Structures are given as C-alpha cells and as structure tokens.
C-alpha cells in the first residue's frame, strides 16, 4: 500500500465521487479508480458501495477511513515537527575539492538545497591541489571531499559514494594548428604529447587516457608534469595536450580550446567513517538523498 493509494481513498471518501476526488488531487479519474481498486485487491474487501447512484463507504471502508484519517493527521504533525527541527539544526561542515574545478556545478545546487532545508547549518568550501585533497581529509582539515572516482580508488579507508557523471574533455592551446579549421577529433591530436598531472600518475587515470586514445585509433605519447600549473603552461606553449574533465576552470579560458569526449568520469563524495561530527553525518545523508532525487527526475548531473 502506498501514500498515493491512501490519498486517493481518502479523497473519494470525503467527496463521495471519483471525479470530484480526481479534480481535488489534480489527476485523472481513471488514476484515482486504479489506486482505490489496488487497495481493495490488497485488502480483499470492497471499500465503496457502487451499486447506488451515489457511492458510499462500506463497513470495511469506514473502518479504514478512520484509520487512515488518523494516520494522515499524525503524519502531518510529525512532518511539521521534523521541519521545525531542520530549521534549528546547527553546526558546520568543511568541504574540500580541487582548486582547478569550477565549483558552481556543485556549490549552487547544494547551497540552495541546504540553505532552504537547514538554514542554520554552515557549509565551508576549501580548495586544495590534487595532491593535498586526500591528506586534508585524513588530517581532519575537511569533513568530506568531492573528487573524481579514479583518484579515490587507492584509499580503502575512505567511504565513497558516487554522485553524478561528467564528460571528459581534451584541453589544448587556442593557438594549436588543429584549432583553426574547427571541429577536430581526438585522432587529429595523435602526434601531440599527452601530459599527465603527477610525477606518480594514478594508474587508473593513465589507463583511461590510453583507452580513449586507443579507441580513437592511436597510442598516445605520454609524459608526466610536476603539477597542474606546469601542465597549463606547457599546453599554452604548444608543448602538449591534456585529457581532463569538463568541470575544469581552464575549459572557459580563452587561452585554451577544448574537445568534448564521449568518455565520462564519476564524481564521488568521500569521507572517513566516524560518528564524531553529527553535522557531517547529516550533510552526507541529506546530500545522497538530494542526488537520488536528481536521478529519479532523469538528470545525471547537478548543473
């Protein structure tokens, strides 16, 4: 039995009309009839006497009407108490993510959701380099981090939860010869050097780059750069290109061009499993609830 069935049953019982109940609920009459019929099938008894010109509750229907009316009243009162509790819930959560991201993709929808539901819960956003992000989490400087899933796989001590998927892009210099004709493909960059962001590049990231290039029909020439800033300088000077993700700030910089790829990355939430920070636990549970709602609505990213 569902809340929709209960709502339809109560509306029909109050209106003593399926058509009026449908108007009250802003749904079709067949939809109301179907929900009531499902309840009757589940209970094994008729809830309405339909043999007269006007419908009436059966004896069983009256008993269920009393039960569900009381249930709805209690549910409404409990919901009001919960909402009141949300408005007074205080605390703070420190959130870490890479300084190279345009965090409006995360900040805007998350801030709107929490400011409305938990206005007293303060969210602080801190930016870190790729190398410093996980150490900041493990040292307690931040409570949770957002990162690409490929950068979290070597940390079994972390709890990770997938949130959404974002596109991969190829970043190259706006002065690159291939940028002039327009509409390039990955294969057009087969002779370029593909830059990797660390001295000890993550194995999964390297495999991802190799896989995308192999699918395009070539094997990439790859070298490591000491850090992200060095990579951007090398790309500007025409010394290489980089496969990254579409949330990178550099995508919107006029010094660079970018190629949208078919490959996708998973954005995940990561945190340490402990119960010390109640606000962190609340943030995690509510954020996962928020993203479940996004997916149920048919969206794959909060943008």
CATH number at residue 73: 1.10.10.10
Domain extent, residue 185, equals 166-265
pLDDT at 289: 85
Same domain, 141 and 280: yes
Q: Which residues contact 195 (CB under 8 A, 6 or more apart)?
A: 222, 223, 224, 225, 231, 234, 235, 240, 241, 242
276 and 159 in a common domain: yes
16 and 106 together in one domain: no
Q: 171 and 257 share a domain?
A: yes
Instruction: Provide the 10 A C-beta neighbour count for residue 45.
Output: 14
Alpha helix positions (H), the chain = 3-15, 18-25, 29-43, 59-88, 104-117, 130-138, 203-216, 228-236, 278-296
User: Which tens digit of pLDDT belongs to each residue from 274-292?
Assistant: 766 788 888 898 898 888 7
Average pLDDT over residues 75-95: 68
CB 112 within 8 A of CB 142: no
Tell me if 301 is assigned to some domain: no
CA distance 299 to 296: 7
Token pair of 92 as six digits: 């703070």
Instruction: Let me know whether 217 and 139 are in one domain.
Output: no
**And the tokens for 190?**
């087969």
Instruction: Please tell me whether residues 99 and 156 are part of one structural domain.
Output: yes
Q: Do 247 and 170 share a structural domain? A: yes
Chain centroid to CA 258: 25
Look at residue 106 and tell me if it is in a domain: yes
**Confidence category of residue 193, pLDDT binned at 50, 70, 90:** very high
Of 8-12, 118-122, 214-218, 248-252, which gets the smallest average pLDDT?
118-122
* Same domain, yes or no: 280 and 158: yes
What is the predicted pLDDT for the residue at 300?
A: 41
Containing 124, the helix (H) or strand (E) segment is: strand 121-128
The count of structural domains within the chain is 3
Both 238 and 282 in a single domain? no
pLDDT above 80: residue 302: no
Among 17, 52, 87, the domain boundary falls at 87
- 123 assigned to some structural domain: yes
CA 245 distance to own-chain centroid: 16
Give the pLDDT confidence score for residue 299 in this predicted structure. Answer: 46
pLDDT band at 296 (very low <50, low <70, confident <90, very high): very low
Residue that terminates a domain, selected from 64, 87, 110? 87
On the question of pLDDT at 181 being above 90, the answer is no
> For the residues 65-76, what does the mean pLDDT come to?
85
Name the pTM for this structure: 0.65
DSSP-derived secondary structure for 22-43? HHHHTS-HHHHHHHHHHHHHHH
Q: What is the CATH number of the domain that holds 113?
A: 3.40.190.10
Same domain? 182 vs 253: yes
- For the stretch 86-100, what's the b/e string if a residue is b when 16 or more beta carbons lie within 10 angstroms of its beta carbon? beeeebebbbbbbeb
Span 166-182, average pLDDT: 85
Give the model's pLDDT for residue 85. 53
Same domain, 16 and 103: no
Examine the fold and report which residue of 39, 65, 87 is the final residue of a domain before the chain moves on: 87
């Amino acid at each position: 039995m569902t809340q929709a069935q209960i709502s339809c049953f109560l509306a029909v019982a109050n209106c003593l009309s399926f058509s009026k109940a449908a108007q009250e609920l802003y749904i079709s009459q067949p939809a109301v009839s179907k929900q009531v019929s499902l309840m009757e099938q589940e209970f094994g008894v008729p809830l309405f006497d339909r043999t007269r010109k006007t419908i009436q509750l059966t004896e069983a229907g009256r008993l269920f009407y009393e039960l569900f009316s009381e249930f709805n009243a209690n549910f409404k009162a409990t919901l009001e108490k919960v909402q009141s509790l949300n408005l007074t819930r205080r605390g703070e959560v420190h959130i870490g993510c890479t300084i190279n991201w345009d965090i409006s993709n995360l900040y805007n929808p998350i801030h709107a959701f929490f400011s409305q539901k938990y206005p007293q819960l303060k969210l602080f956003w801190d930016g870190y380099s790729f190398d410093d992000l996980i150490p900041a989490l493990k040292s307690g400087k931040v409570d949770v981090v957002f990162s690409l899933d490929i950068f979290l796989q070597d940390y079994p001590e972390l709890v990770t939860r997938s949130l959404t998927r974002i596109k991969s892009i190829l970043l190259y210099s706006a002065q690159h010869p291939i940028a002039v004709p327009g509409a390039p493909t990955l294969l057009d960059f087969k002779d370029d050097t593909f830059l990797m962001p660390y001295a000890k590049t993550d194995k999964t990231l390297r495999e991802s780059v190799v896989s995308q290039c192999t699918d395009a029909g070539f094997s990439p020439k790859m070298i490591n750069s000491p850090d992200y800033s060095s990579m951007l300088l090398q790309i500007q000077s025409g010394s290489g290109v980089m496969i990254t993700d579409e949330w990178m700030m550099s995508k919107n910089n006029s010094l660079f061009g970018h190629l949208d790829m078919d490959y996708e990355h998973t954005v995940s939430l990561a945190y340490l499993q402990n119960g010390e920070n109640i606000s962190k636990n609340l943030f995690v549970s509510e954020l996962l609830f928020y993203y479940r709602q996004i997916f149920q609505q048919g969206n794959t990213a909060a943008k």
